[in-house]
Amino acid sequence: MFATRQISSIAKRAFSTSTSSNAAKVAVLGAAGGIGQPLSLLLKQSSLISHLSLYDIVNTPGVAADLSHINSNSKVSGHVPDNNGLKEALTGCDIVVIPAGVPRKPGMTRDDLFNTNASIVRDLATACAEHCPKAHILVIANPVNSTVPIVAEVFKKAGVFDPKRLFGVTTLDVVRASRFVSEVKKVTTEEAKITVIGGHSGVTIVPLLSQSGHSFTEEEVKALTHRIQFGGDEVVKAKNGTGSATLSMAFAGARFTNSLLEATVAGKKNVVEPTFVKSEIFAKEGVEFFATNVELGPNGVEKIHPIGQVNAYEQGLIDAAVPELKGNIAKGKAFIVKA
């Protein structure tokens, strides 16, 4: 009893109270986890964040106390479920980033996480729809191809869905693609900007190497495509049962969040990031969400870029991705819209 009361009073405490009006309240849900902690550390460095609100079912008071000693200008608060912790974490939020959920172990697919993560994401989305219905929602929790449709359906049910404000975070795929291509072509990562489209699992990850400006042998294309599609598996295998990518994901999640902050809070123009959003590109094939490069603006999605020119090999990859994506999206949707 004493311990619970003590934790909740610490949990509600906000630290380092300087704020700026030209900055946003950003919540990280799952903030005490493998991704959540380094992501929160990276976001603590942003001058475009006035309040960093950390929520998890455990340990956020400690994470918040620790981060609050960093002398950047944002306030940090830590919240756990006690005493309306989720409501306090979310109220007034401009951006909510969701890395809450279990990671893979070797031998699992991302879809194997559905049974556990679907309900976690549904419940967090329900709270967002109630307490910060206008916030931009950035979904990291896997399987992204299904968790993004889950958030959409929860928001639709609550009558507050704005497709311009819902993003599946696929940034890690382009981060990996850039790094892997830079290694093969012996160029800097700035010189290796790779478009990746589709979704975020296996064959739904479609790198468009032909658009990079580099030339590749057929073997290079096949090897790079496979490595980009299954880069997550490399980390899962190397971590040997202790989780999946956390540090590179935190880097990628911070990159996307910072880009969105630049577009929404700082008014920067021509901010483009790849992301899995509601899109017309394959809507006729029954694929409601699709990742392409997206221009971000003050209200979130400003303009969805078309796929552009692809070669026959890439067209084959797209043809394999579309039915898989369709199934993943339908599964997420059906979890909320019961027949």
Ligand X SMILES: O=C([O-])CC(=O)C(=O)O
- The binding site for ligand NAI (CB under 6 A) comprises 29-30, 32-36, 55-58, 99-104, 113, 117, 120, 123-124, 140-142, 144, 169, 172, 200, 243-246, 249
Kindly state whether residue 236 participates in binding ligand X, applying the rule CB under 6 A.
yes
How buried is 163 (Cβ within 10 angstroms: 0-12 exposed, 13-18 middle, 19+ buried)? Answer: middle
Q: Binding to ligand X (CB under 6 A): which residues in 94-153?
A: 103-104, 110, 142
Q: How far is CA 20 from CA 70, 97, 279, in A?
A: 16, 21, 34
Which of 168, 202, 232, 253 binds ligand X (CB under 6 A)? It is 232
Q: What H or E segment, with its residue span, contains residue 261?
A: helix 247-264
Q: Which does 236 bind (CB under 5 to 8 A by kind): ligand NAI, ligand X, none?
A: ligand X
Smallest gap, in angstroms, from Cβ of residue 156 to ligand X? 25
H runs (alpha helix) in 13-84: 36-44, 60-67
Residue 76: both structure tokens together: 């940090």
Which of ligand X, ligand NAI, none has residue 38 at its interface (CB below 5 to 8 Å by kind)?
none
Tokens (6 digits) for 89: 């974490």
Q: Which is nearer to ligand NAI, 23 or 135 (CB)?
A: 135
Minimum CB separation from ligand NAI for residue 44, in Å? Answer: 17
Minimum Å gap between C-beta 53 and ligand NAI is 12
- The pair of structure tokens assigned to 283 is 């809507």
Q: Which is nearer to ligand X, 89 or 169 (CB)?
A: 169
Output 124 or 224, the one with its CB closest to ligand NAI. Answer: 124
Of 60 and 225, the one with the shorter C-beta distance to ligand NAI is 60
Closest separation in Å from C-beta 274 to ligand NAI:
11
Dihedral angle at the C-alpha atoms of 139, 188, 238, 197, nearest 10 degrees?
40
Q: Of how many residues is the chain composed?
A: 339
Q: Per-residue contact track with ligand X, 162 to 181, x per CB under 6 A?
A: ----------x---------
Closer residue to ligand X (CB): 135 or 172: 172
Residues labelled as active-site residues: 200
Q: Nearer Cβ to ligand X, position 77 or 180?
A: 180
- 160, interface contact from ligand NAI, ligand X, none, CB < 5-8 Å by kind: none
226, 209, 203, 220: which is closest to 319 by C-alpha?
Answer: 203
Cβ-proximal residues to 52 (8 Å cutoff; 6+ apart), any chain:
26, 28, 40, 43, 44, 67, 74, 75, 76, 77
235's contact among ligand X, ligand NAI, none, with CB below 5 to 8 A by partner kind, is: ligand X
CB of 150 to ligand NAI, least distance (A): 13
100 binds, among ligand X, ligand NAI, none (CB under 5 to 8 A by kind): ligand NAI
Question: Could you tell me whether strands 136-139 and 205-208 are parallel, antiparallel, or unpaired per DSSP bridges?
Answer: unpaired
CB of 257 to ligand X, least distance (A): 17
How far, CA to CA in Å, does 241 sit from each of 33, 37, 103, 172? Answer: 15, 19, 10, 21
Q: Name the nearest CA neighbour of 168 among 185, 195, 149, 190.
A: 149
Contacts of 186 (CB under 8 A, 6+ apart): none
Among 40, 68, 145, 244, interactor with ligand X by CB under 6 A: 244
β-partners of residue 164 are: none
- For ligand X, the binding residues (CB under 6 A) are 103-104, 110, 142, 172, 232, 235-236, 244-245
